[in-house]
Amino acid sequence: MNSVLLLSDDDARVAQWLDWLSDSGLSIQTAVNVQSVRTRRIDCIVTDRNLVTEIADADMEMIGLIVIGVRGFGDVQLAEGSRKELRLACRLVGRITQLRRQKKRQTRLAKVYEQLSVIDPLTRLANRRGWEQFLKRSTVSPDGVLAFFDLDDFRLINQEQGYQHGDQVIRDAAEALQQALPPGAFLARWGGDEFICLLSTSTPQDTLNEVRNRWLDKMAQSDKSLSITIGCPPTHERALLRLPCIT
Task: For residue 54, count other CB atoms closer than 10 A to its CB.
Answer: 14
The CATH-assigned architecture of domain 3-116 is 3-Layer(aba) Sandwich (3.40)
Contact 2, 43 (CB under 8 A): yes
Whether the pTM exceeds 0.75: the reply is: no
CA-to-CA distance for 80 and 52, rounded, in angstroms?
16
Alpha helix (H) residue ranges in the chain? 11-20, 52-57, 83-117, 128-137, 154-161, 163-180, 204-221, 235-240
CB proximity list for 204: less than 8 A, separation 6 or greater:
145, 147, 246, 247
Strands 3-7 vs 44-47: parallel, antiparallel or unpaired: parallel
- What is the secondary structure of 211-234 as a DSSP string? HHHHHHHHHHHTT----EEEE---
Contact 243, 235 (CB under 8 A): no
The values of phi and psi at residue 145, to 5°, are -125, 135
Long-range Cβ contact pairs of 206-211 (< 8 A, separation 24 or more): 207/145, 207/182, 208/145, 208/147, 208/246, 211/177, 211/180, 211/181, 211/182
Element (H, E) at 82: none
Per-residue pLDDT of the chain (247 residues; tens, 9 = 90+): 688 999 998 899 899 999 989 888 889 989 888 888 877 678 888 888 777 777 766 666 667 888 886 554 556 777 777 788 888 888 888 888 888 888 988 999 988 888 889 999 999 999 999 998 888 887 767 777 888 999 988 888 888 888 898 999 999 999 999 999 999 899 999 988 999 999 888 888 888 889 999 999 988 887 777 888 888 765 434 444 444 334 3
Give the pLDDT of residue 170.
Answer: 93
Indicate the domain borders of the chain.
Answer: 3-116, 128-240
According to CATH, what is the number of the domain 128-240? 3.30.70.270
